[in-house]
Structure 1
């Protein structure tokens, strides 16, 4: 596998940013004028992490090599994958600009069936937010210990020293907004949109376990095609190392 650390100025963020990419070293990629286009997993970090975290705490390179899939890992600060009220437009960056940039500089497929998104904690929320906002872009999405109830974060106010108001502004509730996974899922179902395959995983000792169960029950009440898995595990890398391997085996990569 090739490990790329890419630094570039983002027009959307109006600043330098960085992305970590794991790229399969297929022999076809080294031939002239190759038409090989790789399937791609956009892998999203949690609240206290950055683009390097999966390469440091999991075996994502080995899993990606075994399945011949590119993995793109952006950095989005504490944004909760939102266009922040007092900050940068990270949702627009990941949703539009990052994908376009990657397609222009790397041999990645632009086909819906070849693009996937996943993440843990804040990134699990972000993965479902991206997939449910733009189901035409991704064929599969996975949330690992995801923050499925965004109002919990808002009500906590200050989370690990970071104020939620910098993201969402002076609001009392995010219910029925573009940030609410419940609303996004209901809207896509009412539109009869073709949803991505959805995988939701959470450890039973995780502090977000109840939120995950509630979202799973809501999704199933809407007859959503959701693969839900739970088992022993906490909100930590021991669980996420196990879970990301499950995600790689679950993705339609064959």
Structure 2
């Protein structure tokens, strides 16, 4: 485990037990998507001491399959305390029931890559006091959202400086009949190249050296554990630095509510670090 993250966790646990923390501000907005011609519900969590005269980093936090925009704040309410501690903004957009955060050619209802990585970021940078470059942007998520976060970050390395995944579906190929993926990109038997091209594990070669800081975690009892272990091994093989955490846990909120503590500590460390990996 990353030693810096471990030390932050100790501090956090102490604060949770011993301290009373101010409540962050949670807003739910309808943000227009021109690419999809509809409004997308989005939760925005602001630090209690948010000051429009300052500039705040932003963590884009994605939900999983069949989920929605308010899953994270409702099921892991500690996020609000973490936002106050770390003093950065968390944004949770609705990614649809089964979008996998892709742009689907010819389907105007599924342009979630464009929405999250262009329209939503533009909205946040226009309406909030954000740090408007990749050194102040991170993205992560759970399950389908972990797949989405890693995919978007790899495909938009000039936009994000750090990315993560918890219990992520980082290789969709072993699951040809699951989660309605075939309705988005066709069946594996008829569209094998689409499945290959859209699996995160096959995007590793696109990573620029020292460009993205990465954190990946997955429980040992999770059905995605083997694909997460495989992507960890592939990142190691290509000498791509990353933080990889595994511990006991399954594909559920019991695991994710603890994972978010590790994840948010990681992004805090990134947002407050100066170095070549954060350069534009």
Q: TM-score, with normalisation over the residues of structure 1?
A: 0.89
Tell me how far apart the structure 1 counterparts of residues 118 and 245 of structure 2 sit (CA, whole Å).
30
Residue 103 (structure 1) aligned with residue 119 (structure 2): no
Residue 228 of structure 2: aligned partner: 212
- Select the residue among 156, 176, 185 that pairs with 2:204: 185
The offset of 1:229, in angstroms, is: 0.7
Q: Say if 1:19 and 1:74, in contact at 8 Å, map to a contact too.
A: yes
Tell me how far apart the structure 2 counterparts of residues 97 and 74 of structure 1 sit (CA, whole Å).
11
CA RMSD of aligned residues (A): 1.6
Task: Tell me the SS of whatever aligns to 2:173.
Answer: helix
Residues 145-184 of structure 1 aligned to structure 2 (within 5 Å): 145-153=167-175, 155-156=176-177, 158-159=178-179, 163-169=180-186, 171-177=191-197, 179-184=198-203
Tell me how far apart the structure 1 counterparts of residues 261 and 50 of structure 2 sit (CA, whole Å).
25
Residue 203 (structure 1) aligned with residue 219 (structure 2): yes
The offset of 1:69, in angstroms, is: 0.8
Residue 144 of structure 1: aligned partner: 166
Task: Tell me the SS of whatever aligns to 1:219.
Answer: helix
The offset of 1:176, in angstroms, is: 4.5
Residue 55 of structure 1: aligned partner: 73
Residue 66 (structure 1) aligned with residue 88 (structure 2): no
Residue 79 (structure 1) aligned with residue 95 (structure 2): no
Q: Deviations over 1:111-164 (max 9, x none)?
A: 2111111101011111111111111222211110100102234x12x52xxx32
Count of matched residue pairs: 240
Tell me how far apart the structure 1 counterparts of residues 99 and 155 of structure 2 sit (CA, whole Å).
17
Pair 1:242–1:61, CA change in 2 (3 A): same
Tell me how far apart the structure 2 counterparts of residues 45 and 175 of structure 1 sit (CA, whole Å).
21
Tell me how far apart the structure 2 counterparts of residues 143 and 237 of structure 1 sit (CA, whole Å).
14
The offset of 1:82, in angstroms, is: 0.5
> Which structure dedicates a bigger proportion of its chain to strand?
1
Q: Deviations over 1:75-96 (max 9, x none)?
A: 0111001012544211111111
Tell me how far apart the structure 2 counterparts of residues 219 and 150 of structure 1 sit (CA, whole Å).
17
Q: Say if 1:83 and 1:167, in contact at 8 Å, map to a contact too.
A: no
Task: Tell me the SS of whatever aligns to 1:152.
Answer: coil
Tell me how far apart the structure 2 counterparts of residues 69 and 219 of structure 1 sit (CA, whole Å).
28
Tell me how far apart the structure 2 counterparts of residues 142 and 82 of structure 1 sit (CA, whole Å).
17
Pair 1:19–1:27, CA change in 2 (3 A): closer
Task: Tell me the SS of whatever aligns to 2:51.
Answer: helix
Q: Say if 2:44 and 2:89, in contact at 8 Å, map to a contact too.
A: yes
Q: Say if 2:141 and 2:164, in contact at 8 Å, map to a contact too.
A: yes
Q: Deviations over 1:186-228 (max 9, x none)?
A: 122xxx4542111110000101111111111111111110111
Q: Say if 2:210 and 2:240, in contact at 8 Å, map to a contact too.
A: no
